[in-house]
Amino acid sequence: MQAVPGRQRVGRRDPQRGESLSETGGDIKTMLRTMLRENAFKIYARPKYKRPFKYIISALRATNAQIADSWALRWGFMSQVKQVPFEWAPPNGYPDHISAWVDNLRPRWQFANDMVLNNAWGTYSDIFGQVPDRSRDGLVRYCNTALFGMTLPSAQAYVLKTYLPGRPTNLQVKEIVGLALSLPEFQYC
The pLDDT score that the predictor gives to residue 8 is 47
The 3-class secondary structure across 108-130, one letter per residue, is: HHHHHHHHHCCCCCCEECCHHHH
Predicted pLDDT at 7: 47
Cα distances from 176 to residues 40, 162, 165, in angstroms, run 38, 11, 11
Whether the per-residue pLDDT at 9 is higher than 90: the answer is: no
What average pLDDT does this structure show over 95-122?
90
pLDDT grade, residue 16 (50/70/90)?
Answer: low
pLDDT per position as a tens digit, 126-184: 998 898 899 999 999 999 999 999 999 999 999 999 999 888 999 999 999 999 999 99
CB 164 within 8 A of CB 176: yes
Which residues are CB-contacts of 161 (< 8 A; sequence separation ≥ 6)? 136, 137, 140
Whether residue 41 contacts residue 6, with contact meaning beta carbons closer than 8 Å, is answered with yes
Which tens digit of pLDDT belongs to each residue from 30-79?
A: 777 777 776 666 666 778 899 999 999 999 999 999 998 888 888 888 88
What is the mean predicted confidence (pLDDT) over 3-20?
Answer: 54
pLDDT tens digits, one per residue of 67-98: 988 888 888 888 888 888 888 888 888 998 88
The answer to whether the CB of 141 falls within 8 A of the CB of 161 is: no
Q: Which of 6-20, 104-118, 149-163 has the lowest mean pLDDT?
A: 6-20
Evaluate whether 94 touches 83 at the Cβ level (below 8 Å): yes
| DSSP assigned state of 187 | G
pTM of the model: 0.75
* CA angle in degrees (0–180, nearest 5) for 186-139-153: 40
pLDDT of the residue at 87: 86
